[in-house]
């Protein structure tokens, strides 16, 4: 890990859900295709449940929940939500109850199938956007409090200052690995949903005074000024840490292809290409779109010579949307 980052984080409760450092893997065939060196931080292999980026955030979020004596964790997302499933799974593994507030159609596919297989309590609503569910989640938390329960409400994607500590710690891990490998990354690229992952990456890089630039590929959860949202979350997290470094401004590019969760042929083709060339599975909602953007921007020389992609997981999305994707290809 990283001494400076670890000492900053030492006072925050953290439950260990990831028992190892995830590898940084070079992609020789993709690199020769796009003309720059592309590496992947395999956070799809964080290892708890379906893995992914959320596990890093949950180590601090559930550490905080336990420290506060919570007995039930509530969070929200779409029915295909990776975040919702692993949050409930991790909460239950710690002996806490869990309740998911979800939107969309109850199809036994992907993460929703996993929710049901594990026996997680879900409340599913028809709603346009996940943010529409916030009042329902708050109302349910109020109901539980009235019953004498102690609910801990985790926001969409775990995008709170406590959750953001997960990727501050993740950057410390990356910095130590890069040092050991003699690597300096020009950019670090990730898929942006709630913005919590990029906020942690941005703050971590800023705290280390790294030259590396944080770059997000937006998948369309939030419209509007996502860069401002990410910087604001990084600043709030910096307040929590008691540090005062200048926060780098991340670039965020729109790779939603028009809407969050929209399944498109180009992304299906990128998923197929990366699977065949490098044996790595991306997903149609997040990492496939982000990596498609990475390949496009690398070829127009917008990401520098050495690029690190954070593989944030999402494999169940292949089993939720795979048939729809195949029909387009």
Ligand X SMILES: Cc1ncc(COP(=O)(O)O)c(CNC2(C(=O)O)CC2)c1O
Closest contact distance (angstroms) between CB of 127 and ligand X is 13
The yes-or-no answer on residue 256 being catalytic is: no
Q: Token digits for 225?
A: 């000024």
Identity of the residue, 259 or 305, whose beta carbon is nearer to ligand X in the bound complex: 259
Contact 22, 310 (CB under 8 A): no
Select the residue interacting with ligand X from 46, 313, 320, 325 (CB under 6 A). Answer: 313
Closest CA to 245 of 70, 65, 64, 5: 5
Q: Which member of 109, 268, 314, 321 binds ligand X (CB under 6 A)?
A: 314
Strand ranges for 119-242 from DSSP E: 121-125, 151-153, 187-192, 213-218
Q: Are 111 and 320 in contact (CB under 8 A)?
A: yes
Bridge partners of 25? 40
- 165 is a contact residue toward ligand X (CB under 6 A): no
Query: 30 or 282: whose CB is closer to ligand X?
Result: 282
Residue 214 engages ligand X in binding (rule: CB under 6 A): no
Chain centre distance of CA 62? 16
CA distances from 19 to 38, 47, 59, 174, 252 (A): 26, 8, 11, 15, 31
Structure tokens at 29: 């065939």
- Region binding ligand X by CB under 6 A among candidate stretches 135-143, 147-155, 268-276, 280-288: 280-288
Tell whether residue 286 is a contact of ligand X (CB under 6 A): yes
- Judged by beta carbon, residue 84 or residue 208, the one nearer ligand X is 84
Extract the runs of DSSP E, i.e. beta strands, from the chain.
24-26, 37-41, 72-78, 97-103, 121-125, 151-153, 187-192, 213-218, 251-254, 306-310
| Phi and psi, residue 296, nearest 5° | -65, -50
Nearer to ligand X, 9 or 159 (CB): 159
Q: Which C-beta is closer to ligand X: that of 48 or that of 286? A: 286
List 7, 31, 32, 81, catalytic entry: 81
Q: Which of 133, 156, 168, 188 binds ligand X (CB under 6 A)?
A: 156
Could you say whether residue 238 binds ligand X (CB under 6 A)?
no
Q: Is 256 in the site for ligand X (CB under 6 A)?
A: no
The reply to whether 284 sits near ligand X by the rule CB under 6 A is no
Answer for which of 49, 110, 157, 161 binds ligand X (CB under 6 A) is: 157
Q: Which of 211, 167, 210 is nearest to 190 (CA)?
A: 167
Q: Which of residues 170-209 bind ligand X (CB under 6 A)?
A: 191-198
- Give the one residue of 77, 204, 214, 293 binding ligand X; rule: CB under 6 A: 77
Residue numbers at the binding site for ligand X (CB under 6 A): 52-53, 77, 81-84, 156-157, 159, 191-198, 221, 283, 286-287, 312-314
User: Which positions are annotated as active-site residues?
Assistant: 81
């Amino acid at each position: 890990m990283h001494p400076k980052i670890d000492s900053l984080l030492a006072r925050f409760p953290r439950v260990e859900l990831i028992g190892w450092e995830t590898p940084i893997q070079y992609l020789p065939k993709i690199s020769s295709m796009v003309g720059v060196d592309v590496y992947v931080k395999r956070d799809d292999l964080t290892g708890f449940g379906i893995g992914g980026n959320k596990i890093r955030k949950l180590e601090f979020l559930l550490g905080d929940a336990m420290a506060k004596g919570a007995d039930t964790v509530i969070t929200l997302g779409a029915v295909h939500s990776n975040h919702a499933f692993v949050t409930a799974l991790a909460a239950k593994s710690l002996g806490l109850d869990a309740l998911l507030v979800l939107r969309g159609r109850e199809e036994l596919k992907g993460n929703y199938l996993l929710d049901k297989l594990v026996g997680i309590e879900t409340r599913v609503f028809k709603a346009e956007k996940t943010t529409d569910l916030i009042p329902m989640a708050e109302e349910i938390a109020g109901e539980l409090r009235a019953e004498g329960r102690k609910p801990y409400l985790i926001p969409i994607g775990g995008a709170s200052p406590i959750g953001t500590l997960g990727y501050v710690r993740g950057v410390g891990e990356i910095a130590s690995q890069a040092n050991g490998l003699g690597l300096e990354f020009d950019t670090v690229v990730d898929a942006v949903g709630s913005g919590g992952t990029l906020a942690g990456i941005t703050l971590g890089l800023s705290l280390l005074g790294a030259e590396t630039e944080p770059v997000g590929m937006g998948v369309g959860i939030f419209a509007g000024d996502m860069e401002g949202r990410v910087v604001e979350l990084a600043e709030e997290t910096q307040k929590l840490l008691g540090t005062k470094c200048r926060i780098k401004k991340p670039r965020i590019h729109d790779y939603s292809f028009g809407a969050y969760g929209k399944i498109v042929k180009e992304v299906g083709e990128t998923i197929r290409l990366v699977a065949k060339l490098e044996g790595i599975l991306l997903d149609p909602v997040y990492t496939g779109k982000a990596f498609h953007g990475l390949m496009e921007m690398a070829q127009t020389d917008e990401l520098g010579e050495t690029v690190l992609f954070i593989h944030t997981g999402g494999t169940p999305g292949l089993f939720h949307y795979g048939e729809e994707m195949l029909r387009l290809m």
